[in-house]
Amino acid sequence: MTGGIDAGGLTTESDAHDVGVGAPEVGAPEVGAPEVDCWAADILGIPVGPGEPGDWVEGRVAHRVVAAHDRASAVRALAAPADGASFAAFAGDRATALRFTEVTVGVDETERCPEIGSMVAWALDDGTPIISWIEAEPDVGQPARVVCVGPDVDASERALDVLIALVEGSASTWRGRVMLLDPSIDGLLIPLAVGDMTSSHVDADDELRRNLVVPITRFAELGAVIGRRGVLVYGPPGSGKRRAVRRVLSQLEGCTVIVVAPRALLHANLVRLAYDLAFAASPALVVLEDVDVAIGDWNSSPAPEGLVELVSQLDGPAPRPGVFTLATTNYGDSFDFAFSRRTGRFDRLVEVGPPSDVVRTEVLAGVVERHHLDDAGLVQRLVSRTEGWSFSQLVELERLAVLGAAADDAPIDLLGTVDAVRMPVRARDAASRGPGRDGGNYL
């Protein structure tokens, strides 16, 4: 989108967020608003006669509705034609100051864009002038309408295609990112930080790479045969399932990942939304962490509607290509047998147990390096004394050693902290098998 347009001196900018901004209804601007008529007519080269305030819109408008999860993307797309574009806002019959909003485009990253209701004058690549705006209800959970007006309907439709392509492409606030879907979040979606784990390893790395990373990143080549795939990772708490998930995500840079919070699985419409988003951005990955907490089994599920919807999405009558699933559960036995073992729902079951000597060596070497401990044999001594430990125990070893050093004002002693980590683990294990408890229960 290139080509400059003079807004006729009506464009104003302000940081004042308490100034109202009105946008014309589709079909006609607000009656009695001569400044918007003059501004629009001048840009579009359309003569507007006295008493005919709607002439610049009638017969020239094109509009399209975008889903609620694309509202922010639409705002960003409207702000995209910055070179040569001019923004204006009108309230009542006069031009008024623009209001701005911060659009989240990444983790702790926002862009300042004119708010919904502002109007932008820009030009297509061939120089055709266009006026566009977005209409939406205040509720962020509602869809929005992108509106374009050009010298004729054909130009308006071409402009609309350009903006929608931006909404679904470079201006999207969620496509190509790792997003958390959580009903407690305004707008439902928020970017997640994954961290770089490309140099780290988990014992299930080969299995997860073969079944998820390869078919997603090479979907154009393999999609005709491997159109979709589901993997269920299981293992006791602290065994490294989350680390395994992060390891997969770190290898999917530029791919869309929808991480579904357990509470979202309670709602069938949110389960459906997660897979709708993944399909819209396919190839994409849906991550269901601790899926057993919300889903359970057919006979005692706390969310039967969510369970039915999930089964439908995984193995329904109309499977959608390009949608992959990675789920985790602490206890495979608490997950319905027919749901987890049936190929086509979850094609592969991957067990994550205590990290091997190789992986523990990598983790403990990182701890030793992080604290600048100059002891050539320390890592191997730690590896030999942590046989069978989980990832969570290795993390606790570092934390407890740091706390002990700070409390005693002494150097960090990782070896001396090993037994301190082991004792609470044994006590916790005994407590979990106390009266009325079964060691296999999740809660």
In the predicted structure, residue 438 carries a pLDDT above the cut 60? no
The mean pLDDT value for 315-331 works out to: 85
Q: Looking at this protein, which amino acid is placed at residue 120?
A: V
Largest Cα span, the chain: 90
**pLDDT tens-digit profile of 343-398?**
567 888 888 888 889 989 999 999 999 999 988 899 999 999 999 898 889 999 99
Highest mean pLDDT: which range of 296-300, 317-321, 341-345: 317-321
- What pLDDT score does 42 carry? 87
Lookup: tokens for 174? 């969620």
Rounded distance between C-alpha atoms, residue 366 and residue 357, angstroms? 14
- What pLDDT score does 199 carry? 65
Question: Confidence class of residue 4 from pLDDT cuts 50, 70 and 90?
Answer: very low
In the predicted structure, residue 182 carries a pLDDT above the cut 70? yes
Question: Confidence class of residue 292 from pLDDT cuts 50, 70 and 90?
Answer: confident
Rounded distance between C-alpha atoms, residue 278 and residue 102, angstroms? 25
Comparing 145-159, 296-310, 390-404, the range with the smallest average pLDDT is 296-310
Helix (H, G, I), strand (E, B) or coil at 149: strand
DSSP symbols for 258-325: EEEPGGGGG-HHHHHHHHHHHHHT-SEEEEETTHHHHH--TTT-S-HHHHHHHHHHHH-SS--TTEEE
The mean pLDDT value for 326-349 works out to: 70
Lookup: tokens for 316? 């329904």
Helix (H, G, I), strand (E, B) or coil at 209: helix
CA 36-5-8 angle, to 5 degrees, is: 40
More confident residue, 262 or 150: 150
| Dihedral in degrees, nearest 10, Cα atoms 406, 407, 410, 413 | -80
DSSP classification of residue 69: G
Closest CA relative to residue 185, chosen from 122, 110, 264, 250:
264
The mean pLDDT value for 192-200 works out to: 76
> What residue segments make up the domains of the chain, in order of their start?
34-167, 178-351, 357-432
- What pLDDT score does 303 carry? 60
DSSP classification of residue 70: G
Rounded distance between C-alpha atoms, residue 251 and residue 209, angstroms? 9
Task: Report yes or no on whether pTM surpasses 0.85.
Answer: no
Q: Which fold has domain 178-351?
A: Rossmann fold (3.40.50)
- What pLDDT score does 174 carry? 96
In the predicted structure, residue 443 carries a pLDDT above the cut 70? no
Helices 378-385 and 357-370 cross at an angle (nearest 10°) of: 130
More confident residue, 441 or 290: 290
**pLDDT tens-digit profile of 101-113?**
999 999 889 999 9
- What pLDDT score does 143 carry? 93
- Mean pLDDT for the chain? 81
Closest CA relative to residue 188, chosen from 271, 306, 91:
271
Rounded distance between C-alpha atoms, residue 386 and residue 371, angstroms? 19
In the predicted structure, residue 83 carries a pLDDT above the cut 90? no
38: left (phi over 0), alpha (psi -120 to 50) or beta: alpha
- What pLDDT score does 422 carry? 75
Lookup: tokens for 13? 């900018």
**pLDDT tens-digit profile of 22-31?**
344 444 444 4
- What pLDDT score does 198 carry? 66
